[in-house]
Chains A and B, each alone.
Chain A
Amino acid sequence: MQIVGLKLWQKCGLWLFILLFCTVTITLAAPLRHAISPTNIFAPDSTPAHSIYRLSIFLLEVTGAIFVIVFSLLAYAVIKFRKRKHDDDSEPPQVYGSNQMELAWTVLPVLIVVVLFVSTAQVIHRVQDAKAPDRAVSVTAVAHQFWWEYRYSQFGLVTANELHVPVSDSKNPTPTYLALLSADVDHTFWVPRLAGKTDLIPNHPNTMWIDPQETGLFLGQCGQYCGTQHAKMLLRVYVQSREDFDRWVREQQQPANSDPSVAAGQALFVTKACFACHTIRGTIAAGKVGPDLTHLMSRDTIASGALPNTPENLRQWVHNPNAIKPGSLMPVPDLSDQELGQVTAYLLTLH
């Protein structure tokens, strides 16, 4: 059985090598096309993500070189030293080892490790030990099952699920420092184009920083399994020009609209216990368990990024959160169709 169709397997082997090379190339090359994904780690737009990106390219070069060399040696050995049909059954010369070679393939990898370690340690230091400048914006992010709370204590405002930060260009560097807390279980803040991950752990405060270089919307999502709806705990970071950001802050600082035409809905918000979990500043609703709804309609999405914030979606969500996000901790409110309409109408005025 030891000489079964070597020719055929040799061909198959060659095909395997070609296939392997192709897939590895695709694997490495595909993400390097920046536009392929809005969450591509190879399209950095903030210093921590940039530092990681540069290090990762260096690592890909080093490991890629090792891959090509060792892969070729293995492939050569497999092809060159295969038993051929005309070979006799004699045993090849027995070689038991070589101290010189063992030394060589011990020392060379050690040197590579030293180089990789030194370059890695520099990036760790640069990202982790950066001191916050005075002009930095600080935000406290509190992770909940399964949504994000953002507290801007320096501006006296609280919002949810959509983080707004100012752009930080070279003339006017304004990094944002995030204090990371958790209200329940472990979560991870991960917006790949802005920075690597940092965990939000109960009773274990963490910090991270970003300094986005361009305005725009940056996406991400929770990176640590945190329960049933971990998958729909999405992150949205809005990077705005300094003027836009300041305007947004002023708007968010206002108390909620009070529109007499939706008084019925506002009353239901209290009588149906919505207020026990949600805050609407300027009203008696001051719950801390769910997202702050003071300026709900200034947000593009609801349910932590799971749905566009349209009147119909909002109505569906209030009607039965579990139908949209099974396992969501928001209870199903006991509302008739008419009451549902009234509550939704009230929420729609919270600009």
Chain B
Amino acid sequence: MAIPKSSRGVVSEWLFTADHKKIGLMYIVYSLLFLVIMGIEAILMRIQLAHPHASFMSPQAFNRLFTLHGTTGVFFVAMPILFGFGNYLVPLMIGARDMAFPRLNAFSFWMTAFGGFVLYASFFAGGSFLQGGSAPDVGWFAYAPLTSTTYSPGHSTDYWTLSILLAGVGSVGGAVNFIATILCMRCPGMTLGRMPLLAWMNLVMGGLVLVTISPLTAAQIMLMVDRYMSGHFFDTAAGGSVVMWMHFFWIFGHPEVYVLIIPCFAFVSEIVPVFSRKAMFGYPAMVAASVGIGFVSLGVWAHHMYTVGMPSYGNAFFVLTTMIVGVPTGIKIFNWLATMWGGKIRFATPMLFCTGFLFQFLIAGLTGIMLATAPFDWQLSNSYFVVAHFHYVIVGGILFTIFAAFYYWFPKMTGRMLNETLGKWHFWIMVIGFHLTFDFMHIPGLLGMPRRVYTYEPGRGWETWNLLSSIGVVFQAAAVLIFVYNMIQSYFKGAPAGNDPWDAWTLEWATTSPPPDYNFAAIPEVRSRRPLWDIKHPEDPDWKYE
């Protein structure tokens, strides 16, 4: 920025910034805002579902809520928050001064941000606000032909399409930036084999985004053509195929899960070693497993489509590929376990959340194996079992590690520690709420309850479990409130963090908290995967063993 800092106002300083740390923080704050919004949507839905035949809200309102809850969660909470952490951390951890393309970085953030605003503008765009305006009600995977002008008149679906197109541009820009930064901007001595696992996993994530956003964008454009230019891609009366939408959507949709979880694996791979006081066990295997998951996950999408009538060999193929993903995922869990083995584990809040993740992700993986099995999935597909499974991944896996990342890197970002006591309250209340809601949610699925129903019949054995799920939400909401309070309070009054509060080993801890605009006064030079370990233990540095 050419303009001297003193002459810029705070607003324009953030609005026009191209600094990776500021953009990262904007991504994070933006996502937290939407996290609260989608949480409120979830609370409203759980009130409606607490009892059978409830009349808390109309079916139309409920259908809009679950559509927005899902779309928001994937595109405007999980992706931007992970892009935010990646933006903030990747240049610091590879010893760079910024991302490779700072202006593209700012552009990407604002595209994503506008996407979210466009989606929520639909609330105000037509109809009365309390009836949900004309917000989209087609579900987050929006199966054709429900999205055609016949079944979705008005503009709600257009808002949905447009918001995803905008966010897609932002994601691709971000992914290009991650890849270029990680491949070209590493500090001297940091070979690919010495790069922190966080950088490796963001590289894989970037590659996946590049490959998978394209079919999603293509599908959205086809839908636009159908809706506004009399196209027939999904017009079954004219010979179009709605199954094609499913293929396009899920070849994006399944790798998207890995786009979200791989950066979370990265958090765990940074936090677990530091708090176990041991080097990451099996670094090459972790890299190979991440890259392997990236490739294999591109060939598993149709396990979302076991019920659409694929031939038996087609179903069998996707059973095999899906189960194969379990192998590298298992390797990761075992490597984290081996890292903890023989360590001296400090259970500060970041490690608590990572420990919660390990147990919960184990369960999520095993229910995933059940769902991968086509015949079992013929029963479980689109049931509450699926809802429980993917919330185990997204809340029990992704959200828990994001909380861990907050407690771990907040000191670096703000210069102040988050309060540990509040952190522990946050963790335990979250654990209780999470398990109340999502453990019991599996059961109505096994008992025949489909998802996306605004109400359900009594007498099917679903009542107790739904009530318990709804009660759990109260705990989760309380936990998130504690977390938000902790962040605000600690931002102003938290204990000063110093450069390296966790006695960690990667480069971001070698600079001040928060880091200066230029990150490092002098570009560091590294000789191993844990440069700060080498400095702290000159008698036994890592580079001797690599």
Residues of A at the B interface (CB closer than 8 Å) are 1-4, 6, 9, 12, 16, 19-20, 23-24, 26-27, 30-31, 36-42, 49, 51-52, 55-56, 59-60, 63, 66-67, 70-71, 73-74, 77-78, 81-83, 87, 91-98, 101-102, 105-106, 109-110, 113, 116-117, 120-121, 123-125, 127-129, 145, 180, 184-186, 188, 190, 192, 195-199, 201-204, 206-207, 219-232, 234, 326-327
A119 CA / B423 CA spacing, docked (Å): 46
In the complex with contacts A31-B443, A228-B60, A204-B435 CB distance below 8 A: no
Residues of A contacting B326 in the complex (Cβ-Cβ under 8 angstroms): 109, 113
Q: Does B382 contact A (CB under 8 A)?
A: yes
Contact A197 B382 (CB under 8 A): yes
Partner of A77, one of B60, B337, B375, B447: B337
In residues 346-382 of chain B, which contact A (Cβ within 8 Å)?
A: 346-348, 352, 355, 358-359, 362-363, 366-367, 369-370, 373-382
Contact A327 B344 (CB under 8 A): no
Contact A95 B279 (CB under 8 A): yes
Residues of B contacting A20 in the complex (Cβ-Cβ under 8 angstroms): 359, 435
A82 CA / B284 CA spacing, docked (Å): 26
Residues of A contacting B277 in the complex (Cβ-Cβ under 8 angstroms): 83, 91-92
Q: How many residues of B contact A (CB 8 A)?
A: 108
- Shortest C-beta distance, A16 to chain B (Å), equals 6
A96 CA / B193 CA spacing, docked (Å): 14
A135 CA / B348 CA spacing, docked (Å): 68
A195 CA / B380 CA spacing, docked (Å): 11
- Shortest C-beta distance, A77 to chain B (Å), equals 4
9 smallest A-B Cβ distances: which pairs?
A196-B378, A39-B448, A37-B461, A231-B453, A203-B236, A206-B309, A97-B282, A2-B346, A202-B236
- Shortest C-beta distance, A143 to chain B (Å), equals 13
Partner of B307, one of A9, A30, A127, A196: A196
Partner of B59, one of A56, A221, A231: A231
Q: Besides the contacts A36-B461, A97-B283, A109-B327, what 8 more A-B pairs have beta carbons closer than 8 Å? A: A2-B348, A38-B448, A70-B362, A93-B342, A102-B335, A190-B450, A192-B379, A225-B451
A230 CA / B311 CA spacing, docked (Å): 27
Contact B282 A121 (CB under 8 A): no
- Shortest C-beta distance, A173 to chain B (Å), equals 21
In the complex with contacts A27-B443, A59-B373, A185-B342 CB distance below 8 A: no
A66 CA / B284 CA spacing, docked (Å): 25
Residues of A contacting B278 in the complex (Cβ-Cβ under 8 angstroms): 91-92, 94-95
- Shortest C-beta distance, A303 to chain B (Å), equals 13
In the complex with contacts A4-B424, A38-B459, A124-B312 CB distance below 8 A: yes
Q: Does B8 contact A (CB under 8 A)?
A: no
Q: What are 20 sample pairs from A and B whose C-beta atoms fall under 8 A apart? A: A20-B435, A26-B440, A31-B443, A31-B447, A38-B460, A74-B337, A83-B347, A95-B342, A113-B320, A120-B316, A120-B375, A121-B319, A185-B151, A197-B307, A223-B450, A225-B139, A227-B146, A230-B453, A231-B456, A326-B58
